[in-house]
Structure 1
Amino acid sequence: MKSATTLLLLSCCLSGALVQTEITTQSDLSTQLQALSATVEELRSMESRLTASERKVQDQEESVKDLKAELDETKKQLLHYNEQAKEMQKRLADQPKVAFSVALNGNVGPSNVETTLVFPKILTNVGNAYNVYTGFFTAPVSGVYFFRFNVMDGRYNNHMGAALYKNNERVLLNYSWNHWDDHEHMANGLVLQLNQGDVAYMRLPAWYRLTEFGGNNFNIFSGFLLFAM
Structure 2
Amino acid sequence: MKGWLCTLLLLESFVFVVQQQVDEGLAENEISQQLSNEDRRQNPPQTDSLRDEASTDSQQYCHLSFSDIHAALRELTATVTEQKAHIRALETQLKEQQTFILEELNKKTDALETQLRDAEKTAEQQTVILEELNKKTDEISNLTESQVEELRKENRDREIAFSASLMESGGGHIGPFSTDITLTYRNVFTNIGNAYNPITGIFTAPLKGAYMFNFSIYGAGHPSTPSSASIMKNGEKVVVAHAHQAQYVVNSSNGVVLILEVGDVVYVRLWSGASIYDNEYNHSTFSGYLLFALK
TM-score by length of 2: 0.45
Instruction: Point out which structure has higher relative CO (alpha carbons under 8 A, 6+ apart).
Output: 1
Q: Is the 8 A contact 1:109 1:209 kept in 2?
A: yes
SS in 1 for 2:278: coil
Count of residues in Structure 1 that have an aligned counterpart in Structure 2: 139
2:241 corresponding residue in structure 1: 174
Which structure has the highest strand share of the two?
1
The 3 A distance-change label for structure 1 pair 199 and 103 is: same
1:222 corresponding residue in structure 2: 287
Describe how 1:10-89 pairs up with structure 2 within 5 A: none
| Residue segments in structure 2 that go unaligned for 5+ positions in a row | 1-149
Displacement of 1:158 after TM fit?
2.3
What letter is aligned with 1:101? Answer: S
Describe how 1:1-229 pairs up with structure 2 within 5 A: 94-95=154-155, 96-105=158-167, 106-154=172-220, 155-179=222-246, 181-213=247-279, 215-229=280-294
> What's the Cα RMSD here?
1.8
Q: Deviations over 1:161-196 (max 9, x none)?
A: 2110001111112212223x2110101111000000
Q: For 2:283 and 2:244, how far apart are their aligned partners in 1?
A: 17
Q: Is the 8 A contact 2:217 2:241 kept in 1?
A: no
Displacement of 1:94 after TM fit?
2.9
TM-score by length of 1: 0.57
Q: Is the 8 A contact 2:240 2:254 kept in 1?
A: no
SS in 1 for 2:164: strand
Q: For 1:103 and 1:174, how far apart are their aligned partners in 2?
A: 16
2:4 corresponding residue in structure 1: none
Displacement of 1:226 after TM fit?
0.1
Q: For 1:193 and 1:150, how far apart are their aligned partners in 2?
A: 21
Q: For 2:233 and 2:176, how far apart are their aligned partners in 1?
A: 23
Greater than 4 Å deviation, 4+ residue runs: 90-93
Q: For 1:93 and 1:115, how far apart are their aligned partners in 2?
A: 36
Displacement of 1:91 after TM fit?
6.2
| Identical amino acids, percent of aligned pairs | 36
Displacement of 1:156 after TM fit?
1.8
Q: For 1:191 and 1:92, how far apart are their aligned partners in 2?
A: 25
Q: Deviations over 1:123-181 (max 9, x none)?
A: 110111000111100001100000001110012232112110001111112212223x2
Q: Deviations over 1:97-125 (max 9, x none)?
A: 00000101142111010101111110110
| Residue segments in structure 1 that go unaligned for 5+ positions in a row | 1-89
Q: Which of the two has higher C-alpha Rg?
A: 2
Q: For 1:109 and 1:129, how far apart are their aligned partners in 2?
A: 26
Which structure has the highest helix share of the two?
2
